[in-house]
Structure 1
């Protein structure tokens, strides 16, 4: 008998892609696809079970199918299809994870648990280290939004791992996911015609391509390869970083710098009209940025992403088409403004030096 893999969150594109991929594994006998709504995309030969993981019924699904591997992808920052509320998303993230872990704890067949988390757990603050490792504590824990959900989810997963030491647990802290079909709050932000930014800040950002996410999920869900170990917590990101201004130039979208209090007001206005989840945690990310180490991903998990951060974002930018301004023209304009600003500072410095000498 091959392995039986249960996947949550299959109504989203990422969940659907992973379900179709994991079926190709010759060691997998059956895939049980679970979501509260029917997916609008094919799931191959997977058995679809319409179930809300916030309800105890998920325990019956585990028992009925003798599931041995659980891949929990129903942890997200956006409502499915743009509907629903922040409250319902939080309930699915936190309450749903609690119910699922409770069911797994009672299941005698479950041997592997993989959960999609986020580098958002590190938060974003002015005193952050240049690079976060998996063991680096955040300077300030996220106070709300999806970032706080991810922190709570990881806390429940750690408790489960202590109670069931016989289960191999893998936590994948994904950087900001981008790609043609990515569905995240930051993708919604980058899809705005004009990008509101925080005046005086140009944060460093990391991205991971959705194709790499599917690949690393497959690796985490499988039996470990020789010389690798796929239990534990791993940062997942493409190599390199981009600044927010570089992202804007690649998209051909102009930026609108605001003082920080005004950015909060803009975020509130955007949430009111339902355009994007411009939460306080996202504002902190767009102020201070975040960079994580991927040494563990490469050396322990044994995964090297196909896309760098720049390549992942370039593919995303191509999928969005041309912005309001041609990227080349926008880049030239930004560079010209930088030259003018630098020249003005140099002239001011020379003038002050001359006055002091006189």
Structure 2
């Protein structure tokens, strides 16, 4: 195992210490595993809290800041954070306007966020929850009942965060988050398995010359294994799967937000080349791309591969997407 770590037991704590040193504008609580926007309780905004297992960086801690999340709760690698973390986060960001939990659809996250919401409400906090389940590759998996939450999480956190920044009330912020989730679909492809620090070996076997279609962000295998395909062929397959499912949510020619996301070990040279193929497929199918984002945003440790996420966006969602954001991993317009 070749990893830039001290020990598997301290990898998350060490990363949080590094984040605190690199981003003094954030309150990073290493002991309680929280990343909190320093001004989270100012301005009377709805608080946005998300989280999940570590290993998907910059999701979620890298998205804490102006115009996006108020706080993030990192768990151990590929392991849900615990309700106590979520409860502390809710208390740290509540300004009296309520808190929205953004929850990826993985069993541990769902159960723990639900428990935290109940505890928060017992303490007098208003809490809404939005479940992100944008992955079209599989219906059930090792980690989920129903569809997994993947790249669409970024769209939900950015757009709902912009609405909260503008002062929208809790029910409106939650409604926008649900609209984004319902309008988003994703599909992922692995060219290699990832290696967790605790295990020290690949999470699944992927022989040379093969790829896995429909993988999740925890290194779980997908729906189908094939011989290696070209970037053009992968784009045709992935975009086709996304558009087939997305057609049920609105007009086929509606504009989309397009995210080409790296899984952690694929360089930008390849991701931009793949984005060119995604744009070509969308143009050929008459789907206008309103905005594009390319890079490593929702990763799976050192997995080579990528995912495609498309979100059908009306004028209001586009306006909120374009609104200023300033986080460790996403920033523009400010």
TM-score under structure 2 length normalisation: 0.38
Structure index of larger Rg: 1
Structure with a larger share of its residues in helix: 1
TM-score under structure 1 length normalisation: 0.36
